[in-house]
Amino acid sequence: MKQFGKILKYELKNFFEDKVFVGVTLFLVVVIAGVMFVPRVLDSIDVSEEDTVSDDREVMLIVADSEENSKALSEVFAEVFNNYEVKAGDSDIEAVKKQITSGEAECAFVLKDLTSYTYYVNNLSMYDDNKAIAEELLTNAYRTNAFMQNGLTSDEVTEILSTPVSGDVENLGKDQMQNFFYTYIMIFALYMVILLYGQMVATNVATEKSSRAMELLITSAKPTSMMFGKVLASCIAGFIQLVAIFGTSLLFYNLNKDFWGENPIVNSVFGMPVELFVSMLIFFLLGFLIYAFMYGAVGSTVSKLEDINTAVMPITMLFVFAFMVVMFSMASGNVDNLLMKVCSFIPFTSPMAMFTRIAMSTVPLYEIVISIVILVVSVIGIGVVAAKIYRVGVLLYGTTPKIGTILKAVLKA
Amino acid sequence: MKLELKNIEKAFGEKKVLKGVSLIAEGGRAFGLLGRNGAGKTTTIRILMDVFPADSGEILFDGKPIDYNNVQFGYLPEERGLYPKKKILDQLVYFAELKGMNRSEAVSAVEYWLERLGMSEYKNKRLDTLSKGNQQKIQLVTAVAHNPEIVILDEPFSGLDPVNAMLLKDVVKEIIANGKIVLFSSHQMNYIEEFCDSIAILNGGQMVLAGELNQIKRNYPRNRLVVKSEQKQKIYDMYKGNCQNGENDSLIITLDNPDDKKKAMQKLTESFDIDEIKVYEPSLNDIFVEYAGNQA
């Protein structure tokens, strides 16, 4: 126990003396703090630039069947397209095209009548919604015209067209839309942390082996103490890193809360319910441990650092599979499908699958308890087996041994 | 202090690595564990240090089964290696702490040994900035800093320059003088001969020779003479058939009867101009080649 404490302390110290670890953490903290200030900065820029902004606007050309109509329509368009300088264009289409390709104008709407037009643009952006806006505008104009021709006044038409529908939603379970973002962020954080730290544990063990420090370590400390010390140290380091990152974001979010306003993503992330946060911690911790033990055990079986990547591949694949199942289920909107249900009881996939289900659906308490119990038992079991593999693995030099050879040796040990 | 290994057997899978190894090592003396590569020396050491258990046999310390909580080992492995990227003082203190010392004890012990080995100036440097020989001196600290009862040195002199070898010799002598049990494993027979009072030779996992080195040498038939002379050829002609070339331009004459030694020596000194004449004692090298030459 005393030895375990010393190993844990030494391994933790290694993390906090590692320039890369400290550097990456600080970098992330600074970036996140910066991001949290973005709306405040944008806000102050918006205020100062309001007066001068008009001259920089792009030009939009409107061409109708007559010069008069072009002018009238361009005024209507100008009301909607605030961010464009809307002008009536030349009736010569070729001249309009030339203006666009030369960059003189950004885009042009050439209308045959109110229900048919051609949109000219130099490069069609992925996010170009001018067409949709124009269509709505034209539809409204067409309808207004039609109603007025049938004897309605302009006010009556406006009233008919803008009658609002009111409705309320009473959600009895979880709001998937709201929970989606933080579940997504948490699953992604779990994915990154397990892969990064798992690899770190494996590399750490393999480095000790390849530098032959292991010869001395194995005669100085119990393999179980070494294995558990290493895994727990990386777990604590990972946790501290996450606390630093999420703590910073929470702190700076609160400082800039007023500027974030009603941003649904950010509000949903910071409005995570406490019980969900607790279940996240439980699954995070157990999931981390189960994978870290496996990575550590595999790290002990390779003799050269170059072999690490190939050796840990099966574990990484298993983990990526769990991640994929969860991601696809989240995207499909049905997190309670059969595969997810099965995965939420398999210890290698349950940390992500069960957490996602808890976050985005309503899971009976007994299912959660069963899942956690299976996971805890598996963590202990895998921890013990991993320590045994470690004990055998660290003394095997040469080519990476076959799984069968290791298992035989473990059974004998 | 007395360490005893009794009939230790160990197999890895189908392969029997140790087939009944026994030895006795005492405090204040050095014990040489010899054998060719793959003879089972490292396995014996690992079993002794409880890295893995023996299949059968027992290990006794002062006549009782060894209690690893009370007996400390110091180990200089043949495959040297520490943390190359870590500060020297930090890792040495860590290893001493793992061996049960508290932090302040560990720091003062490590600083004492760094001073003793002339390495104090490097204590805050990274290990990989040091030369190979100096790294080896650092490694030696991990074997002795925690004041262990049993010190196991596997090829301690390999890679050391003569000055450092001398320094290490002094350290080893000091450890022996302090009453510790020192287990030496080496292929450099001259060092074993210099330090070890008793030896054991392992061959194919079996103990083929064990005992006091002097006694082993004495037990060889004393019927051979080593002769150095300018008239080598004449002597060779005289003892034709019983004479062969030895080391350093000497001749080795084998007599039919050990009792003829005195007479033969007298005859030689009278008949020839003799520079040196003595009874031949086998070197440890000869003994080793004889017993370990054809590994099972």
Per-residue pLDDT, B146: 93
Per-residue pLDDT, A399: 61
Task: Write out chain A residues lying below 8 Å of B95, CB-based.
Answer: 216, 220
Contact between chains at A216 and B97 (C-beta distance less than 8 A): no
* Backbone φ/ψ region at B118: left (φ over 0), alpha (ψ -120 to 50), beta: left
- Whole-angstrom CA distances from B178 to A317, B30, B105, B144, B149 are 57, 12, 19, 12, 10
Per-residue pLDDT, B287: 83
Instruction: Please state, in angstroms and rounded to a whole number, the distance separating the CA atoms of residues A344 and A277.
Output: 18
- Whole-angstrom CA distances from A107 to A58, A92, A180, A225, A282 are 9, 15, 37, 69, 55
Contact between chains at A216 and B51 (C-beta distance less than 8 A): no
Contact between chains at B51 and A395 (C-beta distance less than 8 A): yes
Nearest residue, CB atoms, B98 vs list A208, A215, A221: A221
Closest CA to B242 of B256, B230, B222: B256
Quick: pLDDT tens for B173-191.
999 999 999 999 988 888 8
Per-residue pLDDT, A393: 82
Query: What integer is the mean pLDDT of A215-236?
Result: 88
Nearest residue, CB atoms, B81 vs list A3, A213, A413: A213
What are the residues whose beta carbons fall under 8 Å from the beta carbon of B93, sequence distance 6 or more?
A: B103, B106, B107, B110
Instruction: Please state, in angstroms and rounded to a whole number, the distance separating the CA atoms of residues B234 and B232.
Output: 6
* CB proximity under 8 Å: B 190-219 to A: none
Q: Confirm or reject contact between A303 and chain B (CB < 8 A).
A: no
pLDDT at B216 over 70: yes
Quick: pLDDT tens for A343-397.
999 999 999 999 999 988 888 999 999 999 999 999 999 998 898 888 888 777 6
* CB proximity under 8 Å: A 220-279 to B: 220-221
The mean pLDDT of chain A is 85
Other C-beta atoms lying within 10 Å of the C-beta of residue A354: 29
Instruction: Please state, in angstroms and rounded to a whole number, the distance separating the CA atoms of residues A409 and B13.
Output: 8
Tell me which residue has tokens 């995965």: A343
Other C-beta atoms lying within 10 Å of the C-beta of residue A117: 19
Other C-beta atoms lying within 10 Å of the C-beta of residue B170: 11
Contact between chains at A219 and B46 (C-beta distance less than 8 A): yes
Instruction: Please state, in angstroms and rounded to a whole number, the distance separating the CA atoms of residues A248 and A270.
Output: 12
Contact between chains at A211 and B83 (C-beta distance less than 8 A): yes
Per-residue pLDDT, A373: 96
Query: What integer is the mean pLDDT of A94-99?
Result: 89
CA A356 to chain centre: 13
Question: 3-class DSSP state for residue A90?
Answer: coil
What are the residues whose beta carbons fall under 8 Å from the beta carbon of A196, sequence distance 6 or more?
A: A238
Give which of A220, A225, A410 to mutate to test B binding, by max B Cβ within 10 Å. A220
Per-residue pLDDT, A347: 93
In this structure, are residues B77 and A215 in contact, taking their beta carbons and an 8 Å threshold? yes
What are the residues whose beta carbons fall under 8 Å from the beta carbon of B110, sequence distance 6 or more?
A: B89, B92, B93, B96, B123, B141, B145
- 3-state per-residue secondary structure call for chain B: CEEEEEEEEEEECCEEEEEEEEEEEECCEEEEEEECCCCCHHHHHHHHCCCCCCCEEEEEECCEECCCCCCCEEEECCCCCCCCCCEHHHHHHHHHHHCCCCHHHHHHHHHHHHHHCCCHHHCCCEHHHCCHHHHHHHHHHHHHCCCCCEEEEECCCCCCCHHHHHHHHHHHHHHHHCCCEEEEECCCHHHHHHHEEEEEEEECCEEEEEEEHHHHHHHCCCCEEEEEECCHHHHHHHCCCCEEECCCCCEEEECCCHHHHHHHHHHHHHHCCEEEEEECCCCHHHHHHHHHCCCC
Nearest residue, CB atoms, A10 vs list B46, B75, B94: B94
Q: Confirm or reject contact between B1 and chain A (CB < 8 A).
A: no
Contact between chains at A216 and B46 (C-beta distance less than 8 A): no
Task: Write out chain B residues lying below 8 Å of A217, CB-based.
Answer: 98
Contact between chains at A220 and B98 (C-beta distance less than 8 A): yes
Per-residue pLDDT, A293: 93
Eight-state DSSP code of residue A162: T
Task: Write out chain B residues lying below 8 Å of A401, CB-based.
Answer: none
Chain B closest CA to A195's CA: distance in Å? 24
- Tell me the percentage of chain B whose pLDDT exceeds 90: 41
Per-residue pLDDT, A47: 63
Q: Kindly report the CA angle at A340 between A179 and A292, in degrees rounded to 5?
A: 85
Other C-beta atoms lying within 10 Å of the C-beta of residue B194: 14
Per-residue pLDDT, A350: 93
The model's pTM is: 0.76
Contact between chains at A208 and B83 (C-beta distance less than 8 A): yes
Instruction: Please state, in angstroms and rounded to a whole number, the distance separating the CA atoms of residues B113 and B137.
Output: 10
Other C-beta atoms lying within 10 Å of the C-beta of residue A159: 11
What are the residues whose beta carbons fall under 8 Å from the beta carbon of B13, sequence distance 6 or more?
A: A408
Chain A closest CA to B49's CA: distance in Å? 6
Contact between chains at B82 and A211 (C-beta distance less than 8 A): yes
Contact between chains at B77 and A212 (C-beta distance less than 8 A): yes
Instruction: Please state, in angstroms and rounded to a whole number, the distance separating the CA atoms of residues B82 and B158.
Output: 17
Query: Which pLDDT band, with edges at 50, 70 and 90, does B121 fall under?
Result: very high
Tell me which residue has tokens 């290490």: B168
Query: What integer is the mean pLDDT of B232-247?
Result: 84
Helix axes A2-17, A19-49, angle to 10 degrees: 50
Task: Write out chain A residues lying below 8 Å of B142, CB-based.
Answer: 216
Instruction: Please state, in angstroms and rounded to a whole number, the distance separating the CA atoms of residues A11 and A204.
Output: 10
The mean pLDDT of chain B is 89
Query: Which pLDDT band, with edges at 50, 70 and 90, does B109 fall under?
Result: very high
Quick: pLDDT tens for A276-315.
888 888 998 999 999 999 999 998 888 888 888 888 999 9
* Burial grade of A119 (CB within 10 A; 0-12, 13-18, 19 or more): middle
Kind of pairing, strands B15-26 and B64-65? unpaired
Q: Any bridge partners for residue A87, and if so which?
A: A61
Q: Confirm or reject contact between A402 and chain B (CB < 8 A).
A: no
Task: Write out chain A residues lying below 8 Å of B80, CB-based.
Answer: 212
Instruction: Please state, in angstroms and rounded to a whole number, the distance separating the CA atoms of residues B233 and B214.
Output: 33
Quick: pLDDT tens for A152-198.
887 888 888 888 888 888 877 777 777 788 888 888 888 988 898 89
Q: Confirm or reject contact between B122 and chain A (CB < 8 A).
A: no
Per-residue pLDDT, B267: 87
